[in-house]
Amino acid sequence: MKKNMLLKAGSVVIALVVWQIVSMAVGMEMLLASPLSVIQRLAVIWKEDGFFFTVLFSLLRITAGFLFALLAGIVLASLAGKFKAVEILLWPWVVTVKTVPVASFIIFSLIWFTYSQLTVFIAFLIAFPVIYNNILQGIKNVDGKMLEMAKLHNMSWRRRLLYVNLPGIKPYLFSACSTAVGMAWKAGIAAEVIGIVKGSIGEKLYESKIYIESVDLFAWTVIIILLSVFLEKAFMLILKALFKGVEKL
């Protein structure tokens, strides 16, 4: 485990060195910023006016979109698991959302939503099918023998949910959330860039493109990655704690 971590850290250092060499070879920070410049920029960027507002703006909206998707995914997958008609009715919608390019949705949404709603909606739209499909798969794969045991002992719906359904769905829910958080981030930021959503991280990325500020582009990208990792880890920790609490019941 420790050896694996060391190897990974080593590979990151090598990648940074390669990046530095290529950047030096290009010789124009404007075209390809060096990792050193990016680190220097990161050291000061957070002190600038409005930095935390910008971060919170995107963080809150993407998180909201993801949470709506989680809620809708759980409710609709539960209904689809119970009633085949619901699964069939939802099928074209889920397939459409999965297959249509995110850029098309963003441009379409610009007609219908305000700039501040756009990020929430796109994060929701991209996370929803992942969560819905995974949970539905989990519901379908709940252990039939445990269901039989619960039925025979005439267990209440609460106990069936607690002891039979939740353990079956758990691995699917964890995998769905882990994947969907990252996807919601990428799509949410893309929506902010295309929609030039005022006060967002996406707007900062757009500005760095307009002014050919390669260093800023990389610095904000690093911030996006860090926030995405933070959100995923934080959410997974909360989810694990919730399940731990439930399993103590």
Partner 1 sequence: MIKFNNIRKSFGDRLVIKNFSLDIKDGEFIAIMGPSGSGKTTLLRIAAGLENADSGEISGIPERKAFVFQEDRLAEDYSVESNMKMASRKKIPEAEIETHLEELGLAGEIKTKVRKLSGGMKRRVAIARAILADADIIFLDEPFKGLDNELKKNVMDYVKKYSAGKTVLMVTHDRTEADYMTKHIISLSFY
Binding site for partner 1 (CB under 8 A): 145-146, 148-149, 152-155, 159, 163-164, 167, 170, 243, 247-249
Say which residues have a Cβ less than 8 Å from residue 146's Cβ, sequence separation at least 6.
163, 164, 167, 168
50 vs 247, which CB is nearer to partner 1?
247
Give the shortest CB-153-to-partner 1 separation in angstroms: 4
62 vs 164, which CB is nearer to partner 1?
164
Contact 197, 119 (CB under 8 A): yes
26 vs 166, which CB is nearer to partner 1?
166
Give the shortest CB-172-to-partner 1 separation in angstroms: 14
25 vs 249, which CB is nearer to partner 1?
249
Give the shortest CB-152-to-partner 1 separation in angstroms: 5
Contact 133, 94 (CB under 8 A): yes
And the tokens for 94?
């889920």
Give the shortest CB-178-to-partner 1 separation in angstroms: 19
Say which residues have a Cβ less than 8 Å from residue 162's Cβ, sequence separation at least 6.
246, 249
Cα–Cα distance between 83 and 78 in angstroms, integer? 9
